[in-house]
Structure 1
């Protein structure tokens, strides 16, 4: 029941954001499409890439980035935004995390239209490997859950975290394999693999492009999930009871 309510409120939040606009949430798709076309033309020309392979890779990477950066960027304000509810109503704190994360999944659903158009236009061959996008997406979603939960707690305690994250997200974009393919970089650029978001992108993008992610990628994504959940759980056990005072 609580889960259904969280999902309903997430959809209501999305509709409220575009209240009285003609296209409504479709503006999400249009703005993302402009970003894909703009970056595709500019970077494809600068890097002298084959557009038939570059644009599909870029568009998928960009859509995944929107999901990840949106969840991470809003994570620090997850509980702050619901401060009045947290102070006055007894609701499990995971409810607010699900609500926040569901908004970004709804945005992703709108942006999937772009991926479909790109796949059809550039004749991207979908193989059985594409089914691996399901476990990959679920692993990323599970990671975004603990990240949102953890950042929400820390952000409620330290309000500067929100601005710190917004300052570093643009840097993370350029050291994440969104515009470029990680497997095509020279060895001296392997520093991007120190960025955990690189694995989140690759574990979803590669299956759509007909490739199988490396076993190492899955191991690291699962490892990040296990460690992250443990740290979040311990932090919540120690400080979670003070959350209503922090917000």
Structure 2
């Protein structure tokens, strides 16, 4: 009787001990991370509608509405194009298309960086009340930036229409004494896969920086502080021809300022075909490499911290 009671007590203790051991959580799993991305893409109507509503809300009750995106971009590109073409001794017919396309691509990258860092923070209400995958908010941000890119392309079409005869001419130069360019031709279609590659990178940038920024709220301020430096360090309002004319073809850190800047490669894979500039495979290789490494990091972050975002925002 005593032995039976002991065995019974031992069994109860073992059962209680097993009951107190928490079940292993599967929130940190690759399956859930990939399911989040899959479900996010499947809810296309949700994030596309939210992205378009963001733009409409921003310009609500204005007469021109989203056209203000195009107007502000056009004024900025025109003003800086006129100024820097004179500073660098460039023909406005060659330099204005160069600076305009650079601005258009830069604006897309800039939006993904700055607004991407605030993606989950700005969607706090929806995240806490709407049972949607995190990737929905990532796609919402990227889609909104793509819509703004489409609006800005109106400026590109206008500039190309005005200066077509100059930039379609083989051998034209951006700055005086610069490298002759092949001219605008059918290779301009390469801008489409180039922009698609940038958009793929935009996905991991928004996801990675968005999650990290919910935990460390200083990240958006750090990005905003570095934006102006990145802008002037990137060949947008100046051309790499200037470095070669100033320092020659010798390999030095001064000549590598542009090559060591990732933003230059991102802009060049779209800008070069759009204005008939020389294209190099290494720009594509760098951007593709960033896509692979960036998405690897973003997926690790999504796997480990996806469930915590709702508590951090």
TM-score, normalised relative to structure 1: 0.96
State the secondary structure of the residue aligned to 2:123: helix
1:184, CA displacement in angstroms? 4.9
Distance 2:293 2:278 in 1: 24
1:88, CA displacement in angstroms? 2.2
Max radius of gyration: which structure? 2
Distance 1:193 1:65 in 2: 16
Q: Alignment partner for residue 79 of structure 1, among 116, 120, 124?
A: 120
- Quick check: which one's helix share is greater? 1
Query: After the TM superposition, which segments of 4 or more aligned residues of structure 1 sit over 3 Å from their partners?
Result: none
Distance 1:45 1:65 in 2: 22
Q: Deviations 1:20-67 (Å, cap 9, x if unpaired)?
A: 111101111111111011101111111111111111100000111111
Structure 1 partner of 2:232: 174
Q: Deviations 1:126-176 (Å, cap 9, x if unpaired)?
A: 311111111100000100110011110011111111111111000000111
Q: Which runs of 5+ in 1 are unaligned?
A: none
**1:137-176 to 2 correspondences below 5 Å:** 137-176=195-234
For residues 184 and 45 of structure 1, do their structure 2 counterparts lie closer, same or farther at Cα, with a shift above 3 Å needed?
A: closer
Distance 1:131 1:216 in 2: 18
User: How many residue pairs get matched?
Assistant: 247
Distance 1:162 1:104 in 2: 17
Is 2:163 aligned against 1:101?
no
Is 2:104 aligned against 1:63?
yes
Distance 1:13 1:121 in 2: 32
Moved more, 184-193 or 116-125: 184-193
Distance 1:178 1:4 in 2: 35
CA contact (8 A) 1:76 1:148 kept: yes
CA contact (8 A) 1:129 1:212 kept: no
Q: Deviations 1:103-140 (Å, cap 9, x if unpaired)?
A: 11111111111000110101132311111111100000
Structure 1 partner of 2:173: none
Q: How well do the aligned residues superpose, as a CA RMSD in angstroms?
A: 1.3
Is 2:65 aligned against 1:24?
yes
Is 2:276 aligned against 1:210?
yes
1:192, CA displacement in angstroms? 2.3
Q: Which runs of 5+ in 2 are unaligned?
A: 1-41, 169-183
Distance 2:207 2:149 in 1: 20
